[in-house]
Chain A
Amino acid sequence: MKYLYFPGCSLKSTGKPYEESLKAVFSSLNVPLEELHDWNCCGATAYMAVDEVKSFALSARNLALAETLGEPAENGHVQLVAPCSACYALLLKTQHYLAEKEDIRKKVERGLKEASLTYEGRVDVRHPLDVLVNDIGIERVKERVKSPLGSTIACYYGCQIVRPYATFDNQADPTTLDTLMEAIGGTPVDWPMKTRCCGGTLVGTIREVGFRLNYLILKEAERKGADVLATTCPLCQFGLECFRPDVNASFQAHITLPVAYFTQLVGLAFGISEKELGMQRLFVPFKSASIGG
Protein backbone atom coordinates (compact mmCIF):
# COMPACT_ATOMS: atom_id res chain seq x y z
CA MET A 1 0.00 0.00 0.00
CA LYS A 2 1.27 3.46 -0.89
CA TYR A 3 1.00 6.25 1.69
CA LEU A 4 0.76 9.92 0.89
CA TYR A 5 2.92 12.08 3.11
CA PHE A 6 1.95 15.51 4.44
CA PRO A 7 5.17 16.98 5.91
CA GLY A 8 3.84 20.28 7.19
CA CYS A 9 6.23 23.19 7.70
CA SER A 10 8.03 21.76 10.73
CA LEU A 11 9.40 18.69 9.00
CA LYS A 12 10.95 20.94 6.37
CA SER A 13 12.62 23.15 8.98
CA THR A 14 13.17 22.56 12.72
CA GLY A 15 11.86 18.99 12.46
CA LYS A 16 14.13 17.98 9.58
CA PRO A 17 15.59 14.96 11.41
CA TYR A 18 12.01 13.73 11.88
CA GLU A 19 11.52 13.75 8.11
CA GLU A 20 14.92 12.21 7.47
CA SER A 21 14.39 9.38 9.93
CA LEU A 22 10.76 8.79 8.90
CA LYS A 23 11.72 8.40 5.24
CA ALA A 24 14.67 6.18 6.10
CA VAL A 25 12.55 3.88 8.28
CA PHE A 26 9.70 3.56 5.77
CA SER A 27 12.19 2.95 2.97
CA SER A 28 13.92 0.29 5.07
CA LEU A 29 10.54 -1.44 5.51
CA ASN A 30 9.82 -1.11 1.76
CA VAL A 31 6.74 0.99 2.45
CA PRO A 32 6.20 3.68 -0.22
CA LEU A 33 5.78 7.20 1.13
CA GLU A 34 5.04 9.87 -1.47
CA GLU A 35 4.95 13.57 -0.60
CA LEU A 36 1.63 15.27 -1.33
CA HIS A 37 2.19 17.56 -4.27
CA ASP A 38 1.72 21.30 -3.65
CA TRP A 39 0.56 20.97 -0.05
CA ASN A 40 0.10 24.12 2.01
CA CYS A 41 0.78 24.94 5.65
CA CYS A 42 -2.07 23.76 7.88
CA GLY A 43 -1.95 27.05 9.79
CA ALA A 44 -1.65 25.17 13.08
CA THR A 45 -3.17 26.80 16.14
CA ALA A 46 -2.06 30.29 15.09
CA TYR A 47 -4.26 30.55 12.03
CA MET A 48 -7.18 28.82 13.78
CA ALA A 49 -7.10 31.63 16.33
CA VAL A 50 -7.26 34.25 13.57
CA ASP A 51 -9.93 32.86 11.26
CA GLU A 52 -11.50 29.50 12.04
CA VAL A 53 -13.31 28.91 8.75
CA LYS A 54 -10.35 29.86 6.58
CA SER A 55 -8.16 27.65 8.71
CA PHE A 56 -10.48 24.72 8.02
CA ALA A 57 -10.42 25.65 4.32
CA LEU A 58 -6.61 25.50 4.26
CA SER A 59 -6.67 21.99 5.69
CA ALA A 60 -9.55 21.05 3.39
CA ARG A 61 -7.38 21.98 0.38
CA ASN A 62 -4.77 19.49 1.58
CA LEU A 63 -7.44 16.82 2.09
CA ALA A 64 -8.91 17.54 -1.36
CA LEU A 65 -5.48 17.31 -3.00
CA ALA A 66 -4.83 14.03 -1.20
CA GLU A 67 -8.19 12.60 -2.29
CA THR A 68 -7.45 13.53 -5.92
CA LEU A 69 -3.79 12.51 -6.07
CA GLY A 70 -3.65 9.55 -3.70
CA GLU A 71 -4.11 5.88 -4.36
CA PRO A 72 -7.06 4.51 -2.34
CA ALA A 73 -6.41 1.67 0.08
CA GLU A 74 -8.66 -1.39 0.40
CA ASN A 75 -11.21 0.65 2.34
CA GLY A 76 -11.47 3.09 -0.57
CA HIS A 77 -9.75 5.85 1.37
CA VAL A 78 -6.43 7.50 0.64
CA GLN A 79 -4.01 7.08 3.56
CA LEU A 80 -2.45 10.46 4.39
CA VAL A 81 0.44 10.30 6.85
CA ALA A 82 0.89 13.45 8.95
CA PRO A 83 3.87 13.12 11.36
CA CYS A 84 3.56 16.57 12.96
CA SER A 85 1.18 16.47 15.91
CA ALA A 86 -0.32 19.88 15.11
CA CYS A 87 -0.90 19.02 11.44
CA TYR A 88 -2.30 15.63 12.41
CA ALA A 89 -4.69 17.06 14.99
CA LEU A 90 -5.81 19.91 12.73
CA LEU A 91 -6.46 17.67 9.72
CA LEU A 92 -8.55 15.40 11.95
CA LYS A 93 -10.33 18.38 13.46
CA THR A 94 -11.14 19.68 9.98
CA GLN A 95 -12.66 16.34 9.03
CA HIS A 96 -14.80 16.34 12.17
CA TYR A 97 -16.00 19.89 11.73
CA LEU A 98 -16.81 19.39 8.06
CA ALA A 99 -18.82 16.31 8.98
CA GLU A 100 -20.63 17.80 11.95
CA LYS A 101 -20.97 21.56 11.40
CA GLU A 102 -23.13 22.32 8.39
CA ASP A 103 -22.50 26.07 8.42
CA ILE A 104 -18.74 25.58 8.35
CA ARG A 105 -18.96 22.83 5.74
CA LYS A 106 -20.97 25.03 3.38
CA LYS A 107 -18.46 27.87 3.59
CA VAL A 108 -15.50 25.57 3.10
CA GLU A 109 -17.22 23.81 0.19
CA ARG A 110 -17.79 27.19 -1.45
CA GLY A 111 -14.09 27.91 -1.11
CA LEU A 112 -13.17 24.53 -2.56
CA LYS A 113 -15.58 25.09 -5.45
CA GLU A 114 -14.00 28.46 -6.26
CA ALA A 115 -10.65 26.67 -6.28
CA SER A 116 -12.02 23.90 -8.54
CA LEU A 117 -11.53 21.33 -5.79
CA THR A 118 -13.81 18.80 -4.15
CA TYR A 119 -13.52 16.78 -0.98
CA GLU A 120 -15.85 13.88 -0.30
CA GLY A 121 -14.35 12.53 2.91
CA ARG A 122 -12.32 9.70 1.40
CA VAL A 123 -9.07 10.39 3.21
CA ASP A 124 -7.81 8.69 6.38
CA VAL A 125 -5.43 10.94 8.28
CA ARG A 126 -2.80 8.74 9.89
CA HIS A 127 0.04 9.28 12.31
CA PRO A 128 3.18 7.31 11.41
CA LEU A 129 3.14 5.71 14.86
CA ASP A 130 -0.30 4.29 14.05
CA VAL A 131 0.92 3.11 10.63
CA LEU A 132 4.04 1.44 12.02
CA VAL A 133 2.21 -0.41 14.78
CA ASN A 134 -1.19 -1.14 13.27
CA ASP A 135 -0.56 -1.41 9.49
CA ILE A 136 3.04 -2.51 9.09
CA GLY A 137 2.91 -4.39 12.35
CA ILE A 138 5.19 -5.11 15.26
CA GLU A 139 6.34 -8.46 13.88
CA ARG A 140 7.60 -6.87 10.66
CA VAL A 141 9.38 -4.21 12.69
CA LYS A 142 11.00 -6.86 14.90
CA GLU A 143 12.21 -8.77 11.84
CA ARG A 144 14.05 -5.68 10.62
CA VAL A 145 15.90 -4.98 13.92
CA LYS A 146 19.67 -5.41 13.58
CA SER A 147 20.91 -3.58 16.69
CA PRO A 148 18.42 -3.79 19.56
CA LEU A 149 18.41 -0.40 21.23
CA GLY A 150 19.19 -1.53 24.77
CA SER A 151 18.19 1.85 26.19
CA THR A 152 15.62 2.88 28.77
CA ILE A 153 13.06 5.11 27.09
CA ALA A 154 10.50 7.63 28.31
CA CYS A 155 7.76 7.35 25.68
CA TYR A 156 6.26 10.79 25.26
CA TYR A 157 3.12 11.03 23.11
CA GLY A 158 2.43 14.71 23.75
CA CYS A 159 -1.00 16.22 24.01
CA GLN A 160 -2.23 16.05 20.42
CA ILE A 161 -1.79 12.67 18.76
CA VAL A 162 -4.11 10.60 20.92
CA ARG A 163 -6.74 13.19 21.73
CA PRO A 164 -9.27 14.56 21.09
CA TYR A 165 -9.95 13.05 17.65
CA ALA A 166 -7.56 10.15 17.19
CA THR A 167 -8.82 6.63 17.73
CA PHE A 168 -5.72 4.45 17.30
CA ASP A 169 -4.74 4.38 20.97
CA ASN A 170 -6.09 4.81 24.48
CA GLN A 171 -6.47 8.55 25.04
CA ALA A 172 -5.74 8.41 28.77
CA ASP A 173 -3.02 5.77 28.79
CA PRO A 174 -1.62 5.19 25.30
CA THR A 175 0.65 2.21 24.72
CA THR A 176 1.51 2.05 21.00
CA LEU A 177 4.82 3.90 21.36
CA ASP A 178 5.76 1.73 24.35
CA THR A 179 5.00 -1.38 22.28
CA LEU A 180 7.09 -0.09 19.37
CA MET A 181 10.03 0.83 21.60
CA GLU A 182 9.94 -2.63 23.20
CA ALA A 183 9.94 -4.18 19.73
CA ILE A 184 13.22 -2.45 18.87
CA GLY A 185 14.91 -3.55 22.08
CA GLY A 186 14.19 -0.57 24.29
CA THR A 187 12.78 -0.61 27.81
CA PRO A 188 9.93 1.87 28.29
CA VAL A 189 9.65 3.47 31.72
CA ASP A 190 6.33 3.52 33.54
CA TRP A 191 5.62 7.19 34.02
CA PRO A 192 2.60 9.50 34.31
CA MET A 193 3.69 12.22 31.84
CA LYS A 194 3.02 10.43 28.55
CA THR A 195 0.37 12.86 27.37
CA ARG A 196 1.13 15.97 29.45
CA CYS A 197 1.48 19.15 27.41
CA CYS A 198 5.08 20.38 26.99
CA GLY A 199 3.88 23.97 26.70
CA GLY A 200 4.45 24.15 22.95
CA THR A 201 4.76 27.76 21.84
CA LEU A 202 4.48 29.03 25.42
CA VAL A 203 8.29 28.97 25.52
CA GLY A 204 8.08 31.89 23.11
CA THR A 205 5.21 33.78 24.73
CA ILE A 206 4.82 33.11 28.47
CA ARG A 207 8.30 31.72 28.87
CA GLU A 208 8.23 30.92 32.59
CA VAL A 209 5.14 28.75 32.11
CA GLY A 210 6.64 27.03 29.06
CA PHE A 211 9.88 26.32 30.89
CA ARG A 212 8.02 24.89 33.88
CA LEU A 213 5.98 22.51 31.71
CA ASN A 214 9.19 21.43 29.96
CA TYR A 215 10.92 20.93 33.28
CA LEU A 216 8.18 18.76 34.77
CA ILE A 217 8.38 16.32 31.85
CA LEU A 218 12.17 16.20 31.63
CA LYS A 219 12.64 15.90 35.38
CA GLU A 220 10.18 13.03 35.70
CA ALA A 221 11.70 11.17 32.75
CA GLU A 222 15.14 11.51 34.26
CA ARG A 223 13.89 10.53 37.73
CA LYS A 224 12.47 7.34 36.22
CA GLY A 225 15.90 6.47 34.86
CA ALA A 226 15.32 7.13 31.16
CA ASP A 227 18.36 7.29 28.87
CA VAL A 228 16.35 9.13 26.23
CA LEU A 229 12.92 10.67 25.76
CA ALA A 230 11.19 9.48 22.58
CA THR A 231 8.90 12.08 21.04
CA THR A 232 6.36 11.99 18.23
CA CYS A 233 6.06 15.75 17.74
CA PRO A 234 8.42 18.35 16.22
CA LEU A 235 7.25 21.13 18.51
CA CYS A 236 7.73 18.98 21.62
CA GLN A 237 11.19 17.98 20.42
CA PHE A 238 12.10 21.60 19.77
CA GLY A 239 10.86 22.83 23.13
CA LEU A 240 12.19 20.01 25.26
CA GLU A 241 15.65 20.19 23.72
CA CYS A 242 16.39 23.71 22.50
CA PHE A 243 15.48 25.55 25.70
CA ARG A 244 17.41 23.19 27.96
CA PRO A 245 19.89 25.81 29.23
CA ASP A 246 17.00 28.14 30.13
CA VAL A 247 15.03 25.32 31.77
CA ASN A 248 18.04 24.18 33.78
CA ALA A 249 18.83 27.75 34.83
CA SER A 250 15.22 28.44 35.83
CA PHE A 251 15.04 25.44 38.15
CA GLN A 252 18.69 25.08 39.22
CA ALA A 253 18.66 21.73 37.44
CA HIS A 254 21.26 19.80 35.46
CA ILE A 255 19.09 17.74 33.16
CA THR A 256 21.09 16.16 30.32
CA LEU A 257 18.40 13.87 28.92
CA PRO A 258 18.44 13.60 25.09
CA VAL A 259 15.15 14.04 23.23
CA ALA A 260 14.95 12.02 20.00
CA TYR A 261 12.22 11.35 17.47
CA PHE A 262 10.79 7.87 17.82
CA THR A 263 11.60 7.31 14.15
CA GLN A 264 15.27 8.04 14.86
CA LEU A 265 15.28 5.35 17.55
CA VAL A 266 13.59 2.84 15.24
CA GLY A 267 16.15 3.71 12.56
CA LEU A 268 19.07 3.15 14.93
CA ALA A 269 17.70 -0.28 15.81
CA PHE A 270 17.36 -1.02 12.09
CA GLY A 271 21.06 -0.28 11.67
CA ILE A 272 20.49 2.83 9.56
CA SER A 273 23.41 5.28 9.71
CA GLU A 274 23.22 8.08 12.27
CA LYS A 275 23.70 10.66 9.53
CA GLU A 276 20.79 9.31 7.52
CA LEU A 277 18.63 9.61 10.63
CA GLY A 278 19.74 13.18 11.33
CA MET A 279 21.20 12.24 14.73
CA GLN A 280 23.88 14.92 14.31
CA ARG A 281 21.14 17.55 14.33
CA LEU A 282 20.18 16.88 17.95
CA PHE A 283 21.50 19.52 20.35
CA VAL A 284 21.71 16.97 23.17
CA PRO A 285 23.50 13.98 21.62
CA PHE A 286 22.17 10.46 22.00
CA LYS A 287 23.95 7.16 21.51
CA SER A 288 21.98 4.00 22.01
CA ALA A 289 23.32 1.52 24.56
CA SER A 290 23.90 -0.98 21.75
CA ILE A 291 26.33 1.36 19.96
CA GLY A 292 28.15 2.61 23.00
CA GLY A 293 26.03 5.33 24.56
Chain B
Amino acid sequence: MKLFTTGRMALREEGIENKEQLRALLRGVEMAEEEAR
Protein backbone atom coordinates (compact mmCIF):
# COMPACT_ATOMS: atom_id res chain seq x y z
CA MET B 1 0.00 0.00 0.00
CA LYS B 2 1.43 3.34 -1.00
CA LEU B 3 -0.47 5.61 1.32
CA PHE B 4 -2.73 4.59 4.13
CA THR B 5 -5.46 6.86 5.38
CA THR B 6 -7.48 6.61 8.54
CA GLY B 7 -10.61 8.23 9.84
CA ARG B 8 -8.46 10.61 11.88
CA MET B 9 -6.55 12.00 8.93
CA ALA B 10 -3.33 10.28 9.90
CA LEU B 11 -1.27 9.73 6.80
CA ARG B 12 1.33 7.08 6.35
CA GLU B 13 3.56 7.66 3.39
CA GLU B 14 4.92 4.18 2.84
CA GLY B 15 6.15 3.63 -0.66
CA ILE B 16 5.92 7.27 -1.71
CA GLU B 17 9.25 8.41 -3.11
CA ASN B 18 8.59 12.14 -3.08
CA LYS B 19 7.16 12.51 0.41
CA GLU B 20 7.95 16.22 0.53
CA GLN B 21 5.84 16.79 -2.59
CA LEU B 22 2.89 15.02 -0.99
CA ARG B 23 3.24 17.03 2.21
CA ALA B 24 3.51 20.27 0.24
CA LEU B 25 0.36 19.37 -1.68
CA LEU B 26 -1.71 18.91 1.45
CA ARG B 27 -0.10 21.93 3.12
CA GLY B 28 -1.07 24.03 0.11
CA VAL B 29 -4.68 22.90 0.36
CA GLU B 30 -4.71 23.79 4.06
CA MET B 31 -3.31 27.24 3.30
CA ALA B 32 -5.98 27.82 0.65
CA GLU B 33 -8.71 26.72 3.05
CA GLU B 34 -7.35 28.97 5.77
CA GLU B 35 -7.32 31.95 3.41
CA ALA B 36 -10.87 31.19 2.26
CA ARG B 37 -12.19 31.44 5.85
Quick check: which of A33-41, A77-85, A127-135, A234-242 contacts chain B, the rest being far away? A33-41
- Distance (whole angstroms) from the CB of A84 to the closest CB of chain B: 13
Which among A13, A41, A47, A50 has the greatest number of chain B C-beta atoms within 10 A? A41
Could you say which residues of chain B place their CB within 8 Å of the CB of A46? 5-7
Known: A41-B2, A43-B5. A116 touches B24 (CB 8 A): yes
Contact: B26 with A41, CB < 8 Å?
A: no
Q: How many residues of B contact A (CB 8 A)?
A: 24
- Distance (whole angstroms) from the CB of B4 to the closest CB of chain A: 7
- Distance (whole angstroms) from the CB of A169 to the closest CB of chain B: 29
Residues 9-37 of B, flagged 1 when their CB comes within 8 A of A and 0 if not, give 10000001110011011111101110010
Contact: A38 with B28, CB < 8 Å?
A: no
Least CB separation from A57: chain B residue = B29
Contact: B5 with A47, CB < 8 Å?
A: yes
Contact: B26 with A111, CB < 8 Å?
A: yes
Query: CA of A41 to CA of B6 in the docked complex: distance in angstroms?
Result: 12
- Distance (whole angstroms) from the CB of B35 to the closest CB of chain A: 8
A51 beta carbon closer than 8 Å to chain B: yes
The one of A13, A38, A115 that contacts B24, using a Cβ cutoff of 8 Å: A115
Least CB separation from A39: chain B residue = B2
Query: CA of A43 to CA of B5 in the docked complex: distance in angstroms?
Result: 7
Q: Is the interface of A mostly helix, strand, loop or mixed?
A: helix
Could you say which residues of chain B place their CB within 8 Å of the CB of A61? 21-22, 25
Known: A38-B17, A50-B7, A103-B36. A108 touches B22 (CB 8 A): no
Contact: A114 with B31, CB < 8 Å?
A: yes
Query: CA of A286 to CA of B23 in the docked complex: distance in angstroms?
Result: 44
The one of A40, A112, A117 that contacts B3, using a Cβ cutoff of 8 Å: A40
Contact: A51 with B9, CB < 8 Å?
A: yes
Contact: A117 with B4, CB < 8 Å?
A: no
Query: CA of A43 to CA of B4 in the docked complex: distance in angstroms?
Result: 8
Could you say which residues of chain A place their CB within 8 Å of the CB of B33? 53, 107
Contact: A111 with B32, CB < 8 Å?
A: yes
Contact: B7 with A115, CB < 8 Å?
A: no
Query: CA of A113 to CA of B35 in the docked complex: distance in angstroms?
Result: 15
A12 beta carbon closer than 8 Å to chain B: yes
Query: CA of A111 to CA of B27 in the docked complex: distance in angstroms?
Result: 7
Query: CA of A113 to CA of B28 in the docked complex: distance in angstroms?
Result: 7
Q: A111-B28, A113-B28 are in contact. List 10 more A-B contacts (CB 8 A).
A: A9-B2, A41-B3, A53-B33, A107-B33, A110-B32, A111-B24, A114-B24, A114-B27, A114-B31, A115-B25
B positions within 8 Å CB-CB of A = 1-9, 16-18, 21-22, 24-29, 31-33, 36
Q: Pick 22 A–B contacts, CB within 8 A, sort by A.
A: A12-B1, A13-B1, A38-B16, A39-B2, A40-B16, A50-B7, A50-B8, A53-B33, A57-B25, A58-B3, A61-B22, A106-B32, A108-B29, A110-B29, A111-B28, A111-B29, A111-B32, A112-B25, A113-B28, A114-B24, A115-B21, A116-B21
